[in-house]
Amino acid sequence: MKKAQVPSKSKIPQILYSVLLLIAGVLFFLLVLGSIYALVRSPGAGPLFKLGKSAETAVRERTAQTGETRVFSGLGRLRIPLVNSSTLILSIAYPYSADDAAFAEELAAKIGDFRTIAIDYFSALPAERVIQFDEDTAKQELLRRLNENLRLGRISELYFSDFMIID
């Protein structure tokens, strides 16, 4: 008696199924092996390997090579009421060393204080001083006042932009 042969559909799905099953088994084995290793390993151990450089290392190397300077403009645009009922619109910025993270954090933490110092200085100017504004004198006085509030570094110069007086 002859056996009837059932036509096989395609061997590709059976091979694909076997390959996927093999990949899933290998991944499961690696996951179990990694979990056991993590449980056995000491808690203070560093990483086994690193891919590339950490962001901190890359920034440190770049700033050491270039001596990069950044400009802090976090005070934003100030709208300062003046004595003669005009309004001064002013933006203040200042440079700082990019590799001094602690000083950058201090600058960011003092934004409110710096805004108050600038507003108090300009709003107290008499009307004649506002009309005949001496930028260098104002910058020196503001530098002195700002640096009095800093502990981790000093601001060396100021930049004024958006300097407008609106009546």
Lowest mean pLDDT segment, chosen from 17-21, 23-27, 66-70: 66-70
Residue 136 has pLDDT above 80, yes or no: yes
Segment 11-37 shows an average pLDDT of: 91
User: What is the pLDDT at residue 133?
Assistant: 74
Query: In one letter, which amino acid is 115?
Result: R
How would you class 106 by CB atoms within 10 Å of its CB: exposed for 0-12, middle for 13-18, buried for 19 or more?
A: middle
What was the pLDDT predicted at 4? 57
> Which pLDDT score, from 0 to 100, does residue 152 have?
87
Residue 113 confidence class, pLDDT cut points 50, 70, 90:
very high
Amino acid at 123: S
pTM of the model: 0.58
Those residues with Cβ within 8 angstroms of residue 138's Cβ, 6 or more apart along the chain or in another chain: 121, 122, 160
Predicted confidence (pLDDT) at residue 25 exceeds the cutoff of 70: yes
The tokens describing 61, both together, are 């190397």
Best CA proximity match to 105, nearest among 55, 166, 161, 150 = 150
Please compute the mean of the pLDDT values over residues 12-24 and round it to a whole number. 90
**Backbone torsions φ then ψ of 163, nearest 5 degrees:** -80, 105
pLDDT of residue 13: 84
* CB-neighbour burial class of residue 35 (10 A; exposed 0-12, middle 13-18, buried 19+): exposed
In this predicted structure, the answer to whether residue 21 has a pLDDT above a threshold of 90 is: yes
Q: How confident is the model at residue 33 (pLDDT cuts 50, 70, 90)?
A: very high
- Domains (ranges, CATH) in the chain? 68-166 (3.30.479.30)
Q: For 14-78, give the DSSP string.
A: HHHHHHHHHHHHHHHHHHHHHHHHHHHS-TT---S---S--HHHHHHHHHHHH--EEEE-TT-EE
